[in-house]
Amino acid sequence: MTRPDPMSRALAARRHAAGTDYSVLLSARERPLALVERWPRDIWGTYLFDDRSWRMQMIDLTPHHTGALLVRWDTRWQFSNEQGYASGKWHVQETTTVSADGQVEVTTEFAGPREASTEERPHDRTSGPSSDPVRRFAAPVEDFLCPVPEIWGCSARASSTGLAWIPAQRHSWT
């Protein structure tokens, strides 16, 4: 993955105040932990990395009428091997979608060959693309709200983990 050169914290703060796109890369010991992107209209995207530095989860947040951010989409990927990750071919993808009033939909998709399950379920398949039935339920919307990030109040501890400010751009993750 190619990353742009970090920008200064002062420039990132000006971009934030102007409502301009930017990203914050949080890392520890030269490894990415999270990439947080801020887009116009206070839309946020967060990518979480595992200990192999693989991007394994994407969370999109949108403004909610309460002043907080609502987790609208939360997508997690599982890859069967490094080659699958490098080519962007996930083995399992689970996406949770939340509406502004707390209606939740969870979809799990499987791709490629899978081992047969020892548990009998009518929708299980052992090869080819398939999807489990979509699960829908209502939940308190408060369960999916979070405060708007206080990027500019980062503590010294957060800075010591390798906080870097980089210009926002659409990333190619292949």
pLDDT along the chain (174 residues), means of 10: 64 78 84 88 91 94 92 94 91 94 93 51 43 84 86 35 42 36
Q: What is the pLDDT of residue 41?
A: 83
Distance of alpha carbon 87 from alpha carbon 167, whole angstroms:
25
Contacts 24+ apart (CB under 8 A), 154-158: 158/26
Q: What is the pLDDT of residue 151?
A: 57
CA distances from 1 to 29, 37, 100, 133, 161 (A): 17, 16, 34, 34, 20
Q: What is the pLDDT of residue 38?
A: 85
Q: What is the pLDDT of residue 106?
A: 95
The rounded radius of gyration (Å) of the Cα atoms in the chain is 18
Q: What is the pLDDT of residue 171?
A: 39
Q: What is the pLDDT of residue 76?
A: 95
DSSP code of 80? S
Q: What is the pLDDT of residue 161?
A: 37
Distance of alpha carbon 124 from alpha carbon 116, whole angstroms:
8
Distance of alpha carbon 161 from alpha carbon 24, whole angstroms:
12
Q: What is the pLDDT of residue 111?
A: 83
- Token couple for 90: 């996930």
Q: What is the pLDDT of residue 144?
A: 94
